[in-house]
Amino acid sequence: MLDTIYIVRHGFRMNWHGNVTLGMLGRPRDPVLTAHGLDQAAELATHFLSLPPESRPQLIISSPYYRTVQTSLPTSKALSLPIHLEPGLCEWFPRVEASPTDPEGTGGVHPYPPTRSLLEPYFPPNALAPTSAWPPVLYADPEGEDVPQLHTRAVEVLRRIERQCELLFPDVKRVLLVSHAATIIAMGRALVLKGPGAPWQEGADGAGYPVGAGTCSLSQYDRHSSSSSTSQHRIGNLDPTTAFTHTLNGSCDHLANGLERDWNFGHLPYNVTERGMGNDWDDDQAPSQADLQKQVEHWEEQERLMAQHTSSSSQDIDSTSETATGKTRL
C-alpha cells in the first residue's frame, strides 16, 4: 500500500494573462504554463530534491493536460523518474448545458485530455512513460460532472491508482499526483474524510473540508502507521476512521511568490453547468469504444489479481497471527 501521497496543482497558466488562444497542441481548454508557471514547477522540483531520498516521490502520475505535464517535468528530471499519464486525474468540467442553438440537445461534450502520442513530440525523449507501463485506470465523463460526481471520481481514481501501484510497482510507497484545483480538493477530502457522503457536503460558500489549491501548491498525505499493514485501510474501502494525515495542506513554502490563484468550490454556483463543445464537435483524442472496453477489461483483471493477492496475504497473516482477519473488502 502507499504510505505517502503528494498531490500538486499545476502551475500558473497562460490564459490567466489574457491569452485565450489554443495551446501548443491546438486543443481547446488546454492552456500552457506562463514563464512564471514554469518557474513554479522548477521550484517544486528543487523542493523535492532537497528532501532526504527516503522522503522523495518514487513515482510520478500526472493528468495528461499540457500544463500538468509541464508542471511534472522538472521534478521528473530532478528525480530521474518518467511521467505516467492518468486521465482519471483530469480537469473537472461541470455538467454540459444545452446549446443555445439546440436547446433540446446536449450541447455536445467536453474535450478529453490529450493522449500520450499527441504529447510525446513536445517533451524530451523518455519523459513520458509508455502507456503499457501505466494503463489508464479511469476516464471522466465527457458530459461533465456535478460536485458529488467529481468527489466520487476522486475516491475511485485514488482507489484504482493504489491498486495498480501495488500490482505494477509493489516497492513504491511514495507517489506524486499532479492534477487540477477541483480534482485535488476532492482527492484530499477522499483521503482525509473517508466517510461515504461526507467529503462532498458543499455549501454555496464552498463550505466543506478545506484543501489548499493555489498554483503549484503541495499537499502531503501520510498513512497512519497503525493502518499501514491492514488491508481494510486501503483507499476506497471508506473506513470511517481516517487512514491518512494531512501533513501539508496546499503548502506554498517552496514558492518564491507564495500562494497564488487559490481556488475552492465557493467560486462557482453549486449547480453550475458549462457549455460543451457543440454537437458537431469531433474529438480526435477521445478513446474509441475498443479503448474503453480494453480499459474496463484491464481493470476487471486488476481487481481479480488484487483479490488473489489479498487472499494470499490474508492466509499468510492467518498462519502467523491469531488476531489476523481472513478477508479484505476491495
Instruction: Quickly tell me which residue has 467560486 as its cell.
Output: 267
Does the residue 314 lie in any domain?
A: no
In this structure, the number of other CB atoms found within 10 A of the CB of residue 258 comes to: 11
In a domain, 195, yes or no: yes
Contact 314, 231 (CB under 8 A): yes
Lowest model confidence (mean pLDDT) among 1-15, 205-219, 258-272, 310-324: 310-324
Least confident of 19-28, 72-81, 311-320: 311-320
In a domain? residue 306: no
The residue among 200 and 35 whose pLDDT is bigger is: 35
Three-class DSSP category at 303? helix
**Residue 329 included in any domain:** no
End-to-end Cα, the chain, rounded Å: 13
Distance CA 233, CA 254 (A): 31
Report the chain's mean pLDDT, rounded to a whole number.
84
Which CATH number goes with the domain that contains 63? 3.40.50.1240
Any idea what DSSP says for residue 18?
T
Query: What is the domain extent for residue 46?
Result: 4-287
Judge whether 298 lies within some domain: no
pTM of the model: 0.87
Domain count, the chain: 1
In a domain, 316, yes or no: no
Amino acid sitting at position 98: A
| Cell representation of residue 308 | 488473489
pLDDT bucket at 241, cuts 50 / 70 / 90: very low
pLDDT per position as a tens digit, 190-238 = 898 754 344 445 443 345 788 999 999 999 999 987 555 555 556 665 4
- Structural domain contains residue 118: yes
Residue 9 pairs with which residues in a beta bridge? Answer: 179
3-state secondary structure at position 159 = helix
- Is 307 within the bounds of a domain? no
Q: Which residue has the cell 494573462?
A: 17
Res 240 pLDDT > 60: no
**pLDDT score for 41:** 99
